Homo-oligomer: A and B are copies of this chain.
Amino acid sequence: MRAVIPYKKQNAKSRLSPALTLEEREYFVELMLRDVVESLQAAGVNKIDVLTTPQNGVPDDLDVDIIFSEHDLNKAINGYLETVDEPVLVIMADLPLVTPQHIRNITDIEDDLVIVPGKGGGTNVLFIKNPDSFYVRYYDSSYINHCRIAQEMQQSVHVFDSFLLSTDIDEPQDLVEIMLHGHGLSKSYIDSKFGMEDNGRARVRVSLCQ
């Protein structure tokens, strides 16, 4: 099997801008990428492609292959799927809570397709056993899209139920989850920048370190 991580550094994670500057966001997404790659490698996945735009931004020291694509996300990944003839793990770069055990568990599942849902109908991870019998359609309720495409292509589906893997980091409030449940470089960075305070409603929220 191999893994592919779609990645875009430039002006990444604009919805985090209330909490992080542009430079901080671009630094932070690189740390999240490193954490994802680390978990894949620790799980024994040694064929890792990073699919990115020609501006690149992937650090040189990562033991990954870089694939450039000018296309939008769906075209880029579907183009990539046409070039591979082994199972492919499509894992997003903003999942710093992923652990090697998640990767092992997902890749042990026997169904044709494993979907890890994200919040609000998104798709965080896909494990595609038969890349010639699947295509992706991210954005616009991608979870529903991917279930439907699997059904259309007669691929059996397993929905993988993990809080940590459903937690993609998009908005300031998501940073709390890194503080509470994270590990690795992204946790160290976020811990150095933020604290938590109670908001009186059974939730914690981020606050700048004083």
A: residues with CB less than 8 A from B are 117, 119-122, 138-144, 159, 161-166, 173, 176-177, 180-181, 196, 198, 200, 202-205
Contact = CB atoms under 8 A, between A and B. Distances in A.
Contacts of A141: 196, 198, 204
Contacts of A203: 119-122
Given A122-B202, A141-B204, 6 more contacts: A117-B181, A120-B173, A144-B180, A162-B162, A162-B163, A163-B166
A121 B204 contact: yes
Top 4 closest pairs, chain A to chain B, by CB: A120-B203, A163-B166, A121-B204, A140-B198
Nearest to A196: B141
Given A162-B162, A162-B163, A166-B163, A176 B121 contact: yes
Given A180-B143, A198-B140, A163 B204 contact: no
Nearest to A102: B161
Contacts of A122: 202-203
Nearest to A120: B203
Given A140-B198, A141-B196, A120 B205 contact: yes
A118 to B, nearest CB: 8
A96 to B, nearest CB: 15
A30 B185 CA distance: 43
25 contacts: A117-B163, A117-B181, A120-B173, A120-B176, A120-B177, A120-B203, A120-B204, A121-B176, A121-B203, A122-B202, A122-B203, A138-B202, A139-B198, A140-B200, A140-B202, A143-B180, A144-B180, A159-B181, A161-B162, A161-B163, A161-B164, A162-B162, A162-B163, A163-B163, A163-B166
A104 to B, nearest CB: 14
